[in-house]
Amino acid sequence: MTKTWWKSSIVYQIYPRSFKDTTGNGIGDLYGIIEKLDYIQSLGVDIIWLCPVYESPNDDNGYDISDYRKISEEFGGDVAFDQLLAEMHKRGLKLMMDLVANHSSDEHPWFQQAKKGKDNPYHDYYIWKAGSPDTPPNNWQSVFNGSTWEWNAETEEYYLHLYTRKQPDLNWENPQLRKEIYAIIDFWFAKGVDGFRMDVISLISKRTEYKDVPKDMSFIDVMEKVYANGPKIHTYLKEMNQEVLSKYDIVTVGEGPGVNLEHGPRYVSDQEKELNMVFHFDHLTLDFGPDGKYDPVPVDFIRFKAIFSQWDEALGTTGWNSIFLGNHDFSRIVSRFGNDGEYREKSAKLLATVLMTLKGTPYIYQGDEIGMTNVSHDHIDAYDDVETRNAWAAAEAAGKDMDQFLKAVHWQSRDNARTPLQWSDAKNAGFSQHTPWIPVNENYAQINVDAAEKDPNSILHYYRKIIALRKAHPTLIYGEYKDLLPADPHLYCYKRWDQEATFLVIHNFSDTPTNWKLTEENHSLIQSNYSEVLATELSPWESRIYSLD
């Protein structure tokens, strides 16, 4: 196992719109991040992953880019960005940007040109198919509902968009387009950026026959077998690596919808020379029911554990995992995998321990370090996210039970993770002087950074402790991993070991006390989220780390 800085680093993810507003327009900005850099540094993290901050009409909050080389004025523009990067580097923090290269905005000059005529030089930067206005080329459905094909009257063709119609897919078959993307990456590396998270990178190579999807195929299968892992994906990633990534000492993590155990190792193993890590979604789609994300079923805990073990094994010693439980596209981790009521504090600490003791680079999403929770608005109008709103409209059109659907929205909406960061109990949670672009979670008076700073027993202080613990013990970073109780319905118990040390980590993922006794004789308890530790029982959501001799 080779050791490198990005393996031993911890990443903190920022969703800039919701982090901190300094200009008083209700939208977070880069000056807000600069203001909070000392706070971020105090956690002990090494890298900040910044969700997209480029110019964008914001149909999908920045995941629709209209200028890849310009920072949006809304966020403070290029001046604020240069200042942020300098301030971060001064503190030894690295910056990972978000590259959205599967699609651009329809307002990008390339698309504005492309749609004008078939002989326009930019036409081939996108994916077009002949047809008539009432018959799309195939039955593909967008991730955000509706056909993936949009009619362009000017050329009498359809263009492909796997996401919204304002996010036309780029044509990676075109070598000139690929060069443009590599030049963009190079532009940011030359500026001093330390890495990229690559948005839906598994989707860039299309199955160009554009065959219909079988009617009964689940969304997860469509992703894996139809949209992702296309025939040229590894050719493109190798080319990107050779042309630009390999020239810098940077970190890459590819977002990989549809990347499963079978495909994962090829994206990240050392020999392949493509990416450093991927985000797979095997554990985050466990609650998708027969009708997908908004038809949720309970998380199967045994499968949840098995997924971590199987990925660990599949990546072996030549690949490296990313450890995350949520981000800006999923619910709050304490609401989804913990208990955000009675055991919020305990379960948030347990989840922090999971993040910091599994093998792989841990990713913390903003606000999870204070145990922020989901929201449950009683009206769809309080939701902003294009995915949630489109899913709602589709459910209404299909005549679904909308009270039931609202419950699914409470559980699954991406807006759960996008409410403003709760800094204090001041108006608007101290996020902004102005009404925020999205409502704050009503619980901000109790759950906020100020309160957490003052409480020595807070989730925030626990994060600092557990981060420091991981850093103090390379075994927790590089050591081997084995699940010792894979079939237990409540306990997740694993060992991490190498020549230096052996650790046993045990978590009780449940609201009930659970019998358990340590059998190893020589041990010392080095961390727990309870002050009193019982000899034969784990309390609800208890988490412990032992060092074994």
Q: Where in the sequence numbering do the catalytic residues fall?
A: 199, 255
Whose CB is nearest to ligand GLC?
A: 63
The whole-angstrom distance between residue 215's C-alpha and the CA centroid of its chain comes to 29
**Region class of 316: left (phi > 0), else alpha (psi between -120 and 50), else beta:** left
Taking the complex as a whole, the smallest distance from the CB of residue 102 to ligand GLC amounts, in Å, to 7
Taking the complex as a whole, the smallest distance from the CB of residue 256 to ligand GLC amounts, in Å, to 10
* Gap between the Cα atoms of 167 and 207, Å rounded: 19
Nearer residue to ligand GLC within complex by CB, 194 or 199: 199
Cα atoms in the Cβ-side hemisphere of radius 13 Å centred on 289: 10
Taking the complex as a whole, the smallest distance from the CB of residue 329 to ligand GLC amounts, in Å, to 5
Taking the complex as a whole, the smallest distance from the CB of residue 328 to ligand GLC amounts, in Å, to 6
Taking the complex as a whole, the smallest distance from the CB of residue 236 to ligand GLC amounts, in Å, to 17
* Gap between the Cα atoms of 239 and 244, Å rounded: 8
Closest among 91, 72, 125 to 12, alpha carbons compared:
91
* Gap between the Cα atoms of 238 and 274, Å rounded: 5
Three-state DSSP class for 80? helix
Taking the complex as a whole, the smallest distance from the CB of residue 204 to ligand GLC amounts, in Å, to 12
Closest among 170, 328, 331 to 255, alpha carbons compared:
328
* Gap between the Cα atoms of 290 and 500, Å rounded: 47
Nearer residue to ligand GLC within complex by CB, 106 or 199: 199
Q: What angle do CA 255, 258, 262 make, to 5 degrees?
A: 105
332-369 burial, b if ≥16 CB within 10 A, otherwise e? Answer: bbbbbbbbbeebbbbbbbbbbbbbbbbbbbbbbbbbbb
Range list of H helices, 36-163: 37-43, 77-90, 109-114
Nearer residue to ligand GLC within complex by CB, 374 or 475: 374
Site residues for ligand GLC per CB under 6 A: 60, 63, 100, 163, 199-200, 255, 328-329
* Gap between the Cα atoms of 426 and 445, Å rounded: 8
Which pair of structure tokens corresponds to residue 163?
Answer: 């996401």
